[in-house]
Amino acid sequence: MSRSHHADKATGIGDPQCFKGEAGPAKFKLGDKVRVKDLPDIFYTRTQVYTRGAIATVVELVYESPAAEDEAWDNVDNPQWFYSVVFRQKDLWPEYPDVYANDTVETELPEFWLESA
């Protein structure tokens, strides 16, 4: 595979737009409760440690793309859906004050990091 395969694919289209339609059907939909898996990440990941094991709500299907864990090693063969998910702060940090129970964190995770909760 040429070093410029990414440029060839994305030029004039953009990244992640260039992977549109490549992920197949999405496993989760808006409003679904998902749990972030606690997978090993010895090489590279963009799934924050603070999200592991926590439950979140899917608020948007954002785009299709290879996961960062693959793309970091030049592997673009398995594009998947990315979800914007919202955590309650209280579910991430047990000491978060009850009086601010509505506060949230929103972040994006690829499908393989998520399971139904």
**Residues of this chain, 9-48, that bind other proteins according to CB under 8 A:** 10-18, 46-48
CB of 117 to other proteins, least distance (A): 19
Q: Which amino acid is at 117?
A: A
Nearer to other proteins, 55 or 62 (CB): 62
The CA distance from 62 to 76, in Å, is 18
Q: Is 86 helix (H, G, I), strand (E, B) or coil?
A: strand
CB of 25 to other proteins, least distance (A): 20
Residue 108, judged by CB atoms within 10 A of its CB (0-12, 13-18, 19+), counts as: middle
The residue count of the chain comes to: 117
CB of 103 to other proteins, least distance (A): 5
Binding status of residue 3 toward other proteins by CB under 8 A: yes
Tokens of 35: 């749990």
- Residue of 58, 81, 82, 114 interacting with other proteins (CB under 8 A): 82
- Residue of 26, 61, 103, 112 interacting with other proteins (CB under 8 A): 103
The CA distance from 59 to 16, in Å, is 19
**Residues of this chain, 53-72, that bind other proteins according to CB under 8 A:** 62-63, 65, 68
